[in-house]
């Protein structure tokens, strides 16, 4: 176990040394070969079987903490880059749905939609809101396409919100999905909501959930996603928060391949 811990720590420090000086602009616009090999190595590492005790030691290692934070930032930015590029590539095509089916992460979101539809007990026609919906709002798209759910996406980056609106128009989903530029302080909405979904990149989590606890009515359900196992939990720095006491966890749906996230459901109590 000590040898695995040291080998992973060494590799993470090497990756951090190679990536730590990248700016957000460089991550978004640099050719993949500039840092793609390092990210591929991280993906391989994240998928490898690692003992829970090793993961706990890595998370607790104070020397490794800054490196993990920087690596997590690059990973988030790279996924954002992929979403932006793909969303833009959909604009000129004649069959956007066929194009969307080819997105590398689309099968993951199809499965996540099924997990969250069942876990929250949603029904066709229900309305959900997604905080941090991003430039390619796949969670809302999949819930609408598969189950007839109506959605509201809230995205604080103006450029990403604008691109997201263009994607929704391209797919012909304007009557089912609305996108607004804003953050968690846009809640509560006048429209009744069956479920409030908090995206993985909606930060800071503690502030978001404290606000939701202060403004939501009793029995309002929320959902969020976490990584519970392996090195993916190491990079999920946004999940290190305590759910406010006014929320009671009411269910977890464990991941189904190709998904690695656990969907967590909680309810505002009286």
**CA distances in angstroms from 198 to 128, 203, 241, 265, 268, listed in the order given:** 11, 9, 13, 11, 14
Amino acid 239: pLDDT: 65
Give the gyration radius of the chain's Cα atoms. 19
Pick out the chain residues at pLDDT < 50. Answer: none
Per-residue pLDDT of 26-42, as tens digits, reads 777 766 666 777 777 77
Amino acid 102: pLDDT: 95
Given the candidates 3.40.50.1980, 3.30.499.10, 3.40.50.150, 1.10.260.30, the CATH classification of the domain at 106-268 is 3.40.50.150
78 contacts: CB under 8 Å, gap ≥ 6: 27, 39
Q: Using CA atoms, how far apart are residues 172 and 198, in angstroms rounded to an integer?
A: 24
Q: Using CA atoms, how far apart are residues 170 and 189, in angstroms rounded to an integer?
A: 26
Does residue 148 contact residue 126 with C-beta atoms inside 8 Å? no
Amino acid 240: pLDDT: 66
Q: Using CA atoms, how far apart are residues 24 and 81, in angstroms rounded to an integer?
A: 10
Question: In what side-by-side order are the strands of the sheet with 221-226?
Answer: 177-181, 150-155, 127-131, 195-198, 221-226, 262-268, 247-253
Q: What are phi and psi of 152, to 5 degrees?
A: -125, 120
Distance of CA 215 to the CA centre of its chain: 23
State whether the Cα torsion 140-143-145-147 is positive or negative. negative
Does residue 210 contact residue 216 with C-beta atoms inside 8 Å? no
């Amino acid at each position: 176990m000590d040898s695995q811990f040291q080998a992973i720590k060494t590799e993470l420090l090497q990756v951090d040394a190679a990536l730590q000086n990248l700016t957000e602009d460089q991550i978004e616009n640099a050719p993949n070969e500039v840092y793609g090999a390092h990210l591929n190595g991280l993906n391989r590492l994240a998928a490898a079987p690692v003992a829970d005790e090793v993961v706990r030691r890595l998370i607790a290692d104070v020397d490794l903490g800054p490196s993990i934070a920087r690596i997590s930032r690059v990973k988030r930015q790279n996924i954002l880059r992929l979403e932006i590029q793909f969303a833009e590539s959909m604009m000129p095509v004649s069959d956007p749905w066929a194009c969307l089916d080819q997105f590398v992460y689309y099968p993951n979101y199809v499965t996540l939609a099924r997990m969250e539809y069942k876990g929250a007990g949603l029904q066709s026609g229900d309305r959900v809101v997604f905080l941090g919906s991003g430039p390619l709002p796949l969670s809302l798209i999949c819930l609408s396409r598969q189950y007839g759910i109506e959605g509201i996406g809230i995205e604080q980056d103006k450029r990403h919100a604008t691109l997201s609106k263009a994607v929704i128009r391209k797919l012909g989903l304007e009557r089912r999905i609305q996108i607004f530029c804003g953050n968690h302080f846009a809640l509560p909405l006048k429209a009744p909501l069956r479920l409030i979904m908090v995206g993985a990149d909606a930060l800071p989590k503690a502030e978001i959930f404290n606000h939701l606890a202060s403004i939501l009515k009793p029995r309002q359900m929320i959902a969020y996603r976490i990584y519970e196992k392996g090195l993916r939990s190491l990079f999920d720095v946004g999940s290190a928060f305590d759910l406010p006491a006014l929320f009671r966890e009411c269910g977890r749906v464990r991941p189904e391949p190709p998904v690695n996230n656990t969907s967590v459901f909680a309810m505002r109590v009286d």
